[in-house]
Amino acid sequence: MVTEYVEGSAGTEYNKRDFKVVGTRPPRPDGIDKVTGRALFGADLTAPGMLHATILRSPHAHARIVSIDTSAVLAMDGVKAVVTSEDFVKQQGSGNQDTLDNCMARGKVLYDGHAVAAVAATSVKVANAALKLIKVEYEVLPHETDVDAAMLDSAPVLHEGRKFRNIPEGNNANVSGFREFGHGDLDEGFAKADVIVERSFKTAATHQGYIEPHATLATMGPDGRGEIWVCTQGHYMVRDMAAAFVGMETSQLRVTPSEIGGGFGGKTTVYLEPVALALSKKSGRPVKMVMTREEVFRASGPTTSSSTDVKIGMTKDGRITAGQAKLRYQGGAYPNITAMLGAMTAFASYDLDAVEAQAWNVLTNRPKQAAYRAPGAPMAIYTVESVIDELCQKLDLDPIEVRLLNAAKKGTLSSYGPTFDEIGLVATLEAAKAHPHYAAPLGPNQGRGVSCGFWFNFAGNTSVSMNINEDGTVAVIEGNPDIGGSRASISMMAAEELGIPFEKVRTIVADTNSIGFNDVTDGSRVTFAVGLATIKAARAAIKNMCGRAAQVWGIDADAVDWLDGAAVPTGHNAGEFPPMTVAEIAGDQAKTGGPIAGHHEVNVDGAGVSFGVHLVDVEVDPETGFTEIKRYTVFQDAGKAIHPDYVEGQMQGGAVQGIGWALNEEYIYGEDGKLQNAGFLDYRIPVASDLPMIDAVILEIPNPGHPYGVRGVGETGIVPPLAAVANGVSHAAGVRMSELPMSPPRILAAIDGAK
Amino acid sequence: MVTVNLWGSLRSATGGLTEVEVEARNTGEMLKALAEKYPALDQIIEGGVSVAIDGLIYKEAWFTPIKPDSEVVLMPYMKGG
């Protein structure tokens, strides 16, 4: 289904066109490498004379470091270097200092697993043995891992004496951030309601569950020049952080990204990289570090856990009169912005006269949270969509009709501030309503859940270069690690714009010294922003090639156009010349002026927001509380799907991660503040055999901010499943569920409680 | 003169206002004028903000033109995954 956008609107980049390459499904260019093992991931990298480093981690959830004695370690055979926080440079700005302190604890350990020291040795075995010789004296302190308890005046304070900005009176020292959004008169809105539902919800912290643990190899010579090879979502970010933390200029540190075995936001910061670089600086040898799975769980960043109160009023005919949410998120031991993003997204799907969302970010003795696909939105929208579903139940209204009645559209003042431009929520809801899934009969103990979802999508700093090779093929060089098929999409957009076959283009992700700066691969930005820069780089190359053809033909460059991969004369006075193809122009490039290339560097704006609607049928076993996903369909606006396979994959992957969040996944802490389930055996992510095929329906409502209409698609897919599954389970079990994950014991307890 | 809408919790920095007016032709001038007129906003702007103009979100862009009748919303710095 395609809703056409009006061409030529003010400020638009978009122009409607007939595509030849975009929208097709060529084989993925990284497929052979990945299935044959030829692809090099972070842990595959080696260097001559390489050392192996491991990290000593805190056994306490909260403790003051009285002393660290490493004297016995360096005397051990095979040990070449040891580092503690003393070996890093103090940072300007609290954000960078927090990141550094998370890499290596300074003064206090703030969670179970917090890094305290690291040893580089000739083998992992020697390094691990050496860790046992480090003597750390701790003064154990009281700890707290629960968000609501951490907000009490009686809670232990993590960062004593640190003042966080703009925290209203009445909040304790663990509240690191407060934000409020909304508009209209809540009292007036609730007074108009026929029914008001107020409910409190909790969600557990979950991990991104990427299959590849963090891994890096760093080397630094006596000349002060360094190199890092790393699996990351952003190697420029790694370069900037690692260089700052060890005290070197960025020009002296070159960072090359490996293939990446999943990120989902979890590889948008540094953990090992500055430590490996500092150890290499001390030892003069390359240093490799690879996290164990247990370390990934204990010390890398999961998402936040949350505790939220929601109140929504509705008229008998389904019009929402007011919505209010109070969101409390804990993101571990350091400040973050995730609750704020939750507050901004909570009501974004709806056109409301009165809305208010307040967000508190809270510190606890858990690992520093990291981004996880649409950070903050899934748990916020879960609460709002659950209450809307409950209102529909109480008023006996169709859940999609109610959402259509209240849906945000062009001209709606959003709950987070701006007025929406062209958006696709109504079309997405209409597609869900018309789909056979929505009318399919349900069996015993089955329930159907519906939820909308929203995400902003971002863009940012982007550099792309494009070399026209002498044989007419094209090399595209970009600087964003490919976490979701972007190399295929970038090649397709280059081929489309140049008018050549997809197979003639190869896109690579270059190191930090080979191309201009690029922001991290996050915020669903790459296909949108790098794609836009690629199209503009291609247009620069085309301009160059048209100029070369004009020279050869002896006519003005203005009299040459580009059509189907060739320069052609245009206009009455241009003369008669046969088309000159890319290969012909490129073959003579040395004779016509030298190498032909195009490039584009820009801080891209105009990422269009994205909406999705998920439908799910679940069956709950009333004897065991086990939930089976029977059928699942995702509807999402992609703007324009460059390579539909990858877009469907993003939609399916988001749904599956959300299903895991809804049903199984949970960081479990003991009374001692230690993580109890740091492994995939006890932290259960969904696998293929747990699930039916996830059907994906792509809608294409072009984004005015992109030449081909592209919107980001990577994050929106994880937003609706929490509520969709919760609503389905609530219908199937006959009781409203308000805590995630909805594990079998929790569902049984709810069923028993409702009897 | 452009009207700038602020997120709710910035009221404490503007004497209770969530809608303020400043003289500006682009985003950079707007942020500078806001910081001068409401010094309590300076640290917040310095710490990183986004600006939505007529529905489009801009991050760290000083020279985006603002028309007198544009809808301008000051937003927190945002980041995805």
Provide the 10 A C-beta neighbour count for residue A389: 25
Q: Give the minimum alpha-carbon distance from B69 to chain A in angstroms, rounded to a whole number.
A: 13
Residue A567: CB atoms within 10 Å: 26
pLDDT digit string (tens) for A123-176?
A: 999 999 999 999 999 999 999 999 999 999 999 999 999 989 889 999 999 999
**Residue whose structure tokens are 């009686």:** A154
Per DSSP (E only), the strands in A184-304 are 195-203, 215-220, 226-230, 253-257, 287-290
Which chain A residues are Cβ-neighbours of B42 within 8 angstroms? none
Give the residue from A208, A340, A650, A713 with the most B CB atoms within 10 Å of its CB, the best one to mutate. A340
Q: Do B7 and A522 touch (CB under 8 A)?
A: no
Looking only at the bridges linking them, the beta strands covering A474-478 and A505-509 are parallel
Q: What amino acid occupies position B35?
A: A
Give chain B's contact residues with A (Cβ, < 8 Å): 5, 7-10, 12-13, 43-44, 47, 52, 54-61, 64, 71, 73, 75-81
- pLDDT of A557: 94
Structure-token match 């309601």, residue found: A193
| CATH number of this structure's domain A305-457+608-754 | 3.30.365.10
Flag if A715 and B58 touch (Cβ within 8 Å): no
* Token pair in block for residue A260: 């990446």
Rg (CA), chain A: 27
In chain A, domain spans: 45-139+213-261+267-299, 305-457+608-754, 459-604
Helix (H, G, I), strand (E, B) or coil at B64: coil
Strands B49-53 and A108-109, sheet pairing: unpaired
Cα B2 to Cα A264: distance, rounded to the nearest angstrom: 39
Q: What does the alpha-carbon distance between residue B7 and residue B17 come to, in Å, rounded to a whole number?
A: 10
Residues 6+ apart with CB under 8 A from A126: A52, A76, A77, A78, A79
CA separation, residue A521 to residues A165, A237, A457, A505, A530 (Å): 29, 10, 12, 22, 10
Cα separation, A655 vs A373, in Å, equals 11
CA distance B14 to B39: 9
pLDDT digits (tens, 9 = 90+) for A479-492: 999 999 999 999 99
CB < 8 Å to A373, chain B: 81
Structural class in CATH, domain A459-604:
alpha beta
Q: pLDDT tens across A180-225, in order?
A: 999 999 999 999 999 999 999 999 999 999 999 999 999 999 999 9
Statement: residue A1 has pLDDT above 50: no
Residues of A in contact with B59 (CB under 8 A): 458-460, 603, 605
* Contact across the interface for A421 and B54, Cβ inside 8 Å: yes
For domain A45-139+213-261+267-299, give the fold: Aldehyde Oxidoreductase; domain 3 (3.90.1170)
Return the sign of the alpha-carbon dihedral for residues A598, A604, A609, A613: positive
Query: Domains in chain B, start-ordered, CATH in brackets?
Result: 2-76 (3.10.20.30)
Is B80 close to A606, i.e. CB distance below 8 A?
Answer: no
Tell whether the torsion through CA atoms of A356, A361, A364 and A368 is positive or negative.
positive
Contact between chains at B78 and A341 (C-beta distance less than 8 A) = yes
> Which residues have C-beta within 8 Å of that of residue A45, sequence separation ≥ 6?
A215, A217, A229, A258, A288
A751: pLDDT strictly greater than 80: yes
Across the interface, do B12 and A166 touch by the CB < 8 Å criterion?
yes
Report the residue of chain B nearest A422, measured CA to CA. B55
Which of A178, A524, A705 lies at the smallest CB-CB distance from B80? A524
- What is residue A6's predicted lDDT score, i.e. its pLDDT? 35
* Exposure of A242 in the CB half-sphere (CA atoms within 13 A): 37
Per CATH, A45-139+213-261+267-299 and A459-604 having the same topology is answered no
ipTM of the complex: 0.95
User: What does pTM read for this prediction?
Assistant: 0.96
Contact check, Cβ <8 Å, B80/A375: yes
Extract the tokens encoding A706.
């992109």
Q: Which residue of B has its CA nearest to A603?
A: B61
The distance of B35 to chain A (nearest Cα, Å) reads 16
Q: Each residue of A519-542: pLDDT tens digit?
A: 999 999 999 999 999 999 999 999
Give residue B61's Cα distance to chain centre: 12
Q: Looking at residues A320-343, what average pLDDT do you find?
A: 97
Query: Which chain B residues are Cβ-neighbours of A705 within 8 angstroms?
Result: 56
Residue A315 near residue A158 (C-beta atoms within 8 A): no
